[in-house]
Structure formats: structure tokens, C-alpha cells
Amino acid sequence: MTVVTLTINDELVSAQEGETLLAVLRERGVDIPTLCHLDGLSERGGCRLCMVELAGSQKLQAACVTQVQEGMVVHTHSDRLVKYRKMILELLFSERNHVCAVCVMNGNCELQWEAAKLGMDHVRYEYLHPELSLDASHDRFALDHNRCILCSRCVRVCDEIEGAHVWDVMGRGTNSRVIIDLNQPWGSSQSCTACGKCVQVCPTGALFTKGSTVAEMEKQHNFLRWILDGREKKVWSYEKNGK
Amino acid sequence: MNKIKFATAWLGGCSGCHMSFLDLDEKLLELANKIELVYSPIADVKEFPEGVDVTLVEGAVANLDNLHLAQQIRARSRRVVSFGDCAVTGNVPSLRNTLGVDDLLTAVYQEGPGRHPVGGGEILPRLLPKVLPLHQVIQVDAFLPGCPPDTERIWAAVSALLADEPLLLEPARRTFG
């Protein structure tokens, strides 16, 4: 494999050709926020939190869907980027009803934590307060649109790992919704295997196990690495991947 | 040494932030040496005074009384702090914002069990169409998230405010919820 050399925050770095910029940043310990990215799933480039500046281009690029290139000059934490990242989070918080205090994921939520890390201590935009539904028709799991940020991890894990492709996204803009099968109650889905992978990868309280109340829901992503190592490398080792 | 004129106010919230404030326990004694508490739900003062240095405001702006007090606080305080999630985000009180005020009152009082109270007149403050975070009503100088903010957060914030320093909390102390 060819090695390429690039500059990240004024430091020369080598990387393998074909690697994404995000992978290289993470390997080097650059703390870059993400929400739609999850190790083991395909990239979506949807949340835009991992945007970086590339010299010679006015346009910001999402590191998760940008491949490293020879001579690339990257900045990851300019004032402009930090400002935009905060803005993105504020827009996410204002778009739906993220009431952390009464959420099942309070204390374990990736959205809540990214906001705290970036210092987003209030939202400058007007909250939309949309009237959104909660689908509790499934025996074991529930879907609360109030907390959904449309990261599409559920869509990807169900399609790519479980192979059932129960989930999709319907509509456009603020009217977008994750849907089950042909937009029907979860409990009526015949394609859902009730494996719960979507629940585990969901970064917020949008998908949760029934019976969990405020701050009780915790999610585990370990299974993804374990399944993929088995599938791709025929390695089945709990110890290597266990937390 | 002149004591810092300190106030706390309670708008649309559950008083949990004030309870957490009282949980400062023995630190309250230390605080008492540095501040003069000029207005608070835990002090018997009727009118929000002039010339306040720091005011912590708990609760969202839910009705006309909240709105008037918020404006008075702003006009009479040098630094105003959104104290807790309701003031910062609207939080639980803002859950009603998906309903119109009339629908809300009808659902709670007229369609609820028992006899509904007669009229509001001028006795009860009118509800605003939407519950608002404090900074959408007045200019706010610092934000202290949490539901409620725990005592470590409050102490870190109060210490910074009394020293007239900017309020910079570490990430784990500035989460919502």
C-alpha cells in the first residue's frame, strides 16, 4: 500500500493511501467530534461535526468522507471550525425536543456530551418545539422521535450488520423521520428481527429499551467490532475487544 | 470590605436549583462572609432592589410575572446568570410549548377531574404563548446548566462570579440534564 504524507495542524504525518482523514486524525489522537460516525459502520458524512479546513479550498470537508491525499494541509480546530461545530449542535438541540433532564439517556448521551465538550452552554436559536410521536408498539424497544438527530446509525447497522434493512429515512429537512419498513408501527414490522442493534448504536435517547426510565439507558457498541472481526478476519475473541 | 450584593430569583422552575444551592452546606457560611443576600425566595424581600452585583435566576420565563421580574433583574443587576436547565433551555416547563395556551388550560382544568377554578382575572399571571429560556427575554452574562446543577458546579460558578472572573466550567460540569 502506498504511503502519503500530509500536514495536520502544522505537523507532518504519514498515512496509508485510501484511509479517511478521520481515521488518521483519530489514530493520532486528535480529538475531533462526531455523531453519525461509528467504527464498524459505513460513513455517512451527515452530522458535519468532523468538518475540517483544507488549504486551497474555501469549502469545509467532513473528515469521515474525505480520503487522505499527498500534500494535503489540514486544520482541525480553527476558530471558524469550532464556531460552526457549536452552531451545528445548537441547531440539533433547537430542532427537536431534547430535554436532557427527563431523557432515558441522560448522563450517557453522545449529543449531550459533545455539547458539554464543545462548551455549548446555551442555544442561541429559537427552539422549534415540534409535536413528535413516540412509537412503543414493539414488545421490547421504543422509538422517540423527539430525541432523534437523524444520524442514520440505526439504518446502517440494520442494513450492513444485521442484514434486515428495517429502517429508512422519510421526508426532507426538518420533516425527515426515521421509519420502520413502509412507515408503520414498529410492532407490526415483519422484517425486524428484534436483535436490538439499532438501539445499541443510537447515540441519543431516540431508541431505547422499554422499561428504562430517566438516565437508566446505557448502550454498548462492542458487539460491532466483535461481529466484524468474526465476519472479516474469522477472529472470535471477546478478550481483545472487551471493555 | 464591601460585601457583594447577591440575589437569587425563582421563575418558572421547581425550586430544585435553590435546593441544590442550599446543599452547599458549610460553604454557605463562607459565602455569607462575602455576600449580602439582597433578594431571594429564601429571604423575605418584596421588591427586587437596585444595584445588585450578581443575580442567579432559576426557572424559565413562563408567564407575565416571570417576564416582568426578569426585566427588573436585568435593569438592576450587573451580572445575570441563567441558573439551571430551565433558565438555560426552557427544560421541563417548555414541554408545554407543543400545545397552545388555551388547549393547555382546557386540558388541565376544564377537562380534568373535579371543578375547574373560575376565571383568572388579574389574580393569576397570564401564561406566555411559549415558555422561553431566560436569554431569549433578557441579556444573560453566564450560563450554569444542570437539572439541578450540583453543588460542585454551583460552587465553581459562584467562586468565579465573586472573583469577577468569567464563568468557565470544565466539560463534565457543564452538561445539561
Q: Do A116 and B172 touch (CB under 8 A)?
A: yes
Contact in structure between B161 and B142 (CB atoms under 8 Å): yes
Say what the pLDDT of residue A242 is.
47
Type of residue at B112: G
Report whether pLDDT(B118) > 90. Answer: no
Q: Do A106 and B177 touch (CB under 8 A)?
A: yes
- pLDDT tens figures, A128-183: 999 999 999 999 999 999 999 999 999 999 999 999 999 999 999 999 999 999 99
Report whether pLDDT(A243) > 70. Answer: no
A207 burial (CB, 10 Å; 0-12 / 13-18 / 19+) is buried
- pLDDT tens figures, A31-64: 999 999 999 999 999 999 999 999 999 999 999 9
Distance (Å) from the alpha carbon of B105 to chain A's nearest alpha carbon: 18
Smallest Cβ distance to B143: which of A112, A122, A131?
Answer: A122
Contacting residues for A233 by C-beta, under 8 A, at least 6 apart? none
Distance (Å) from the alpha carbon of B22 to chain A's nearest alpha carbon: 20
Say what the pLDDT of residue B124 is.
82
Report chain A residues whose CB lies below 8 A from the CB of B136.
126
Smallest Cβ distance to B89: which of A113, A123, A215?
Answer: A123
Q: How confident is the model at residue A240 (pLDDT cuts 50, 70, 90)?
A: low
Angstrom distances, CA of residue A23 to CA of A17, B127, B168: 12, 51, 31
Contact in structure between A120 and B89 (CB atoms under 8 Å): no
A236 touches chain B (CB under 8 A): no
Report whether pLDDT(B117) > 80. Answer: no
How many Å apart are CA A204 and CA A177, to the nearest integer?
Answer: 15
Question: A with B: how many residue pairs have Cβ under 8 Å apart?
Answer: 69
Going edge to edge, which strands form the sheet with B77-83? B35-39, B4-10, B52-58, B77-83, B142-144
Assessment of whether the complete model's pTM goes beyond 0.90: yes
CB atoms within 10 A of CB A55: 10
- pLDDT tens figures, B26-72: 999 999 999 999 999 999 999 999 999 999 999 999 999 999 999 99
Task: Kindly provide the b/e burial profile for residues A9-46, where b requires at least 16 CB atoms within 10 angstroms of the residue's own CB.
Answer: eeeebebeeeebbbbbbbeeebebbbbbbbebbebbbb
Type of residue at B55: T
A130 touches chain B (CB under 8 A): yes
Q: How confident is the model at residue B76 (pLDDT cuts 50, 70, 90)?
A: very high
Contact in structure between B78 and B54 (CB atoms under 8 Å): yes
